[in-house]
Structure 1
Amino acid sequence: MRKLSFLKSTFSFALLIFMSVLVSSCSSSSDDDNTSAGTAFNPSNFSLTITKKEVTATVGLMITYDLKNISKEAYNDYTQGSFSVKFTVKSTDGEIFQDIVSVDYIDAGITFSGLTFLDYSEVKTLDLTTLTAVIIKNK
């Protein structure tokens, strides 16, 4: 009878330990994707590089770019503010053309490679030396 009592108390103790570990692991507040809830981002949290620019006959100016999140937190436009990349180029006669691309999500330290087509009038000639790309914070 004494052995049964010992086994019963050992089983109860093991069950208590198991339940404690289970409860503590379920109530952990860590977030797997490291997204901060509400931390404001700034344009300085990103680096932007135009990697290729090419005038195409059918779709306009093709721009390939790399956008890197250089902060230590994942960026999500729903919790850290909304950002876009604004591309601007002038034609040889001074007319300005723009394209704006929204930024949705980039993990910390990750580079997003994007591609956009900036439309412009077929009768214009672009001055590619005037192409700029800036990160803007949307309101």
Structure 2
Amino acid sequence: MIGEVIAIGVSRRGVLTFLGILALAGVVMVALVVFRGTGDGRFLRASAEIEAFARTMRDGERLGPRTVGGMEFEEVRRERGVVVFQQGDTMHSPYGYAWSPQGDPVRLLEDVEWSEDHVDHYFEHLQGAFYSWIGRR
């Protein structure tokens, strides 16, 4: 097959370059999937400590930067029984995790305003009462 490709004007070097780029793209895609799951897995391994901390918070309480269960958070806040652990902010969209023992946090936080800017909350169930979270402004 390579002989046929070379016969129509593509060099062996071009074919190898293309295959190299294709392999690199595959490695990048695998890395994205693996590293995306790493944060969630780390969070779930620390879930007992994170849940114990969440249970100590009162509704309306808002705490600044801290480490909980070996993980760093920029802010931790509790609203209507849902504790949101904000890890950071990407392009003005906060993200992190939530602990919601009463079920779906979207339903519970439906009309809660977190700042002067409106934030739409998106949650993905991880395990038990834990969810990954992103807030989009």
- Fold conserved (TM > 0.5)? no
The structure that is strand-richer by fraction is 1
TM-score by length of 2: 0.34
TM-score by length of 1: 0.34
Larger radius of gyration: 1
The structure that is helix-richer by fraction is 2
Highest RCO, 1 vs 2 (Cα 8 Å, sep ≥ 6): 1
